[in-house]
Amino acid sequence: MKTSLTRRQALKAGTLAASAAFVNLPSLFARSSSYNAEFVSMTDEERAFYYFEGQEGVKARLFANENPFGPSEKAIAAITNSLKDSYMYPFDERAELQRKIAAYEGVSEDHILLGAGSTQLLMAAGVAFGMKGGEIVISHPTFDSLPKYAEGVGGKLVKIDVDNGLNQQLGKMADAVNAKTSLVYTVNPMNPTGTQVSGQEMRDFCNSISSKAPVFVDEAYIDYHPEGLTASTISCVQQGKNVIVCKTFSKVHGFAGLRVGYCVARPDLLAKMKPFSTGGFDLSRPAVLAATASVDDKAFLSMSVQQTEESKQLLYKGLKAVGASVIPSFTNFAMFPIDMNGSTFLSRMKEKGVLVRSWNFKNQDWCRVSIGRKDEMEAFNKALAQVV
């Protein structure tokens, strides 16, 4: 299997880039606002790039790993039924959600810390463990919210490159842990690469490392893991280990616009994060009620994973058709190498109404494409064939 697009395709791309300005990027950049780009994953420039007036012309919104198969009808109904109560803080309702999540994860309520999306919690952990110059061991690349917040308060990042298959190198990460390490941050399955570590390997890693430093396992995409929830490290938390598991409703539940996430950990670990958290006071009533309706809706979750898998097979077909390498994906997105400058590629895809993201690491440009509806994957495949 080829590892990237062909040289001919790359040359063709370069020629086109030199001959025409396909998208007027500066005018889009001008829309940039003071969104908190220093810390949140997407920069002002990137956000501006994805801005479409009224979303007109967008055929495939595949840049933010959103899940168009959610939220469930039950979740939407829970919101609709509660709108008249929007003037009330959801005190009791949030407590009920916390109870339900605790039951779902098999821990007591004091092991749960809620946040309006996991970004809130990644911030709290990044700050808590990055302060005082603590060293945070991470993969490179990785989902960069927690690392950015850690750096923002003086934390130092120790970056371990992914291997040639874009897998996290847990062994090398373990070797990097020393007395100055304040946190080890890992993501499984991994964003932005889409790769996975087996449940057993990750639990062994946590059990071994957590005696030296706390391990933060970001399981945003765990429902898409081939082992499903059995790949989770929640059992390490249940055993009282020095492990924080972070989960979100944004992915498999389709809640990106509703903002619900949570951490599962020993109360003494959560206590380190709480000075930088409102403990769920930031969750809206619609989000709380929707999450309560969705948290253990196994039929919906299974449908959500299945639909994603079907769209993923369509994507693989399109990638193979243009000779692109397929990095096996265990998430609701996939990464593949492109023989073209990332910005150029994004602009050309955008011209076709297809929004994706790009990375550059290992001296290679990469596209990350989210898994959307089938019509979106078809639009992506068609655009890709034209652009490369």
Q: Does 113 bind a copy of itself (CB under 8 A)?
A: yes
Give residues with Cβ within 8 angstroms of 158, minimum separation 6.
Answer: 135, 136, 137, 138, 176, 181
* 285-294 and 91-105 helices, crossing angle to 10°: 30
Residues 298-317 that bind a copy of itself (CB under 8 A): none
> Could you give the CA distance from residue 136 to residue 215 in angstroms, rounded to a whole number?
10
Token pair belonging to 367: 């596209």
**255 in contact with a copy of itself (CB under 8 A):** yes
Q: Among 60, 62, 90, 215, which residue interacts with a copy of itself (rule: CB under 8 A)?
A: 90
**Sign of the CA dihedral running 28, 33, 34, 35:** negative
Least distance between a copy of itself and beta carbon 110 (Å): 4
Span near a copy of itself by CB under 8 A; candidates 83-91, 160-168, 212-220, 313-321: 83-91
Nearer to a copy of itself, 75 or 162 (CB): 75
CB closer to a copy of itself out of 70 and 192 = 70
31 binds a copy of itself (CB under 8 A): yes
Site for a copy of itself in 263-282 (CB under 8 A): 267, 270, 274-282
How far apart, in whole angstroms, are the C-alpha atoms of residue 280 and residue 300? 25
For residue 338, how many other CB atoms are within 10 A of its CB?
27
CB of 57 to a copy of itself, least distance (A): 13
Minimal distance in Å, beta carbon 151 to a copy of itself?
9
- Residues 145-174 touching a copy of itself, rule: CB under 8 A, are 149, 152-153
Q: Which of 24, 81, 86, 364 binds a copy of itself (CB under 8 A)?
A: 86
Beta-carbon contacts of 121 under 8 Å, excluding residues fewer than 6 positions away, are 113, 115, 246, 261, 262, 263, 273, 277
83 in contact with a copy of itself (CB under 8 A): yes
Q: Which of residues 188-207 bind a copy of itself (CB under 8 A)?
A: none
Single out the residue of 5, 28, 79, 222 in contact with a copy of itself (rule: CB under 8 A): 79
27 part of the interface to a copy of itself, by CB under 8 A: no
The answer to whether 43 contacts a copy of itself (rule: CB under 8 A) is no
> Between residues 171 and 257, which has the closer beta carbon with respect to a copy of itself?
257
Token pair 């619609």: residue: 286
Residue holding tokens 């019509």?
Answer: 375
Q: Three-class SS of residue 311?
A: helix
Q: Is residue 22 near a copy of itself by the rule CB under 8 A?
A: no
Report, in Å, the least distance between residue 8 CB and a copy of itself: 36
Asked if residues 217 and 225 have their Cβ atoms less than 8 Å apart, the reply is no
At 223, list the tokens.
């429902």
Q: Does 247 bind a copy of itself (CB under 8 A)?
A: no
Asked if 253 and 71 touch (Cβ cutoff 8 Å), the reply is yes
Helix axes 7-19, 342-351, angle to 10 degrees: 70
